[in-house]
Amino acid sequence: MMEYPEEQWLMLSGLQHFAFCRRQWALIHLEQAWQENLQTAEGMLMHRRAHDAGQAEMRGGRLTLRGLSVHSARLGVSGACDVVEFTPSPAGVPLAGRPGLWQAYPVEYKRGSAKLTDADRLQLCCQAMCLEEMLCCQVPAGALFYGQTRRREEVCFSAGLRQTVRAMLCEMHQLAARGYTPKCRPARRCGACSLKPLCLPGTLRGRSAQSYMAMRLSEMEGSP
């Protein structure tokens, strides 16, 4: 089975951006553009809270690991899980320094409420696939915790969801290898995009956001 060299690994979190908008993913991960708005700021705060609460916690027979680094050479991605809960299970795997067998259950923290698209579910599924490769185990399900509703949504990692993860990552690797940013296709979702001021669909006309910003900076430097 093909494995990507580590220098070609993509950011796991980019899968959510890619599922939302391929151009947004390319602007952030290929052109290194970023525009923070209220939504992204609140989301980052939730992730920091999830990670800062401590690396490991044992409560009621459940082991909770926070900010756990994960990767997959087969998928060519690396990142971190907000939370991975381990519960004793005969179908689980051994953990260093812990007696018995443990079943992994990833939990991803999100602001707002559940989305109609699969963007969040795909990111969580990719985390599970990384855990499976690293731990040589099966991770059949996980959960999304939404800050607005304060509720968990359980996600079963179906064969279809897993195949979508593989297909999207394959396309992401192809775009990354070419350094190609897809052209803008305006849609209703653009109104909630944190990169809307940089994407500028009416102004770019085929140019990259990076080249446009360089042009604007040059104009500003040359003005009196």
b/e sequence 78-95, b meaning 16+ C-beta within 10 Å = bbbbbbbbbeeeeebbee
Q: Is 206 part of a structural domain of the chain?
A: no
User: Digits of tens for pLDDT over the chain (224 positions)?
Assistant: 799 999 999 999 999 999 999 999 998 889 887 655 434 544 455 555 555 544 789 999 999 999 999 999 999 999 999 999 999 999 999 998 899 999 999 999 998 888 888 999 999 999 999 999 999 999 999 999 998 888 999 999 999 999 999 999 999 999 999 999 998 888 887 877 778 777 865 544 455 555 655 554 554 455 44
Furthest C-alpha separation in the chain: 73
* Residue 222 placed within a domain: no
Is 209 domain-assigned?
A: no
In a domain, 208, yes or no: no
What are φ and ψ of residue 81, in 5° steps? Answer: -90, 135
* pLDDT in the model for residue 213: 53
Does residue 204 lie within any of the structural domains?
no
Query: In this structure, are residues 19 and 118 in contact, taking their beta carbons and an 8 Å threshold?
Result: yes
Which secondary-structure segment (H or E) carries 215?
helix 209-222
pLDDT of residue 48: 56
For 90, residues 6+ apart whose C-beta sits below 8 A from its C-beta are 101
Residue 69 domain flag = yes
Domain hosting residue 133, numbered range: 6-182
Question: Does residue 220 lie in a domain region?
Answer: no
The reply to whether 216 falls in a domain is no
- Count of the separate structural domains present in the chain: 1
Exposure string over 127-164, b if 16+ CB within 10 A, otherwise e? bbbbbbbebebebeebbbbbbeeeeebebebeeebbeb
User: What DSSP assignment string belongs to 5-23?
Assistant: -GGGPEETTHHHHHHH-HH
Q: What's the CATH number where 172 sits? A: 3.90.320.10
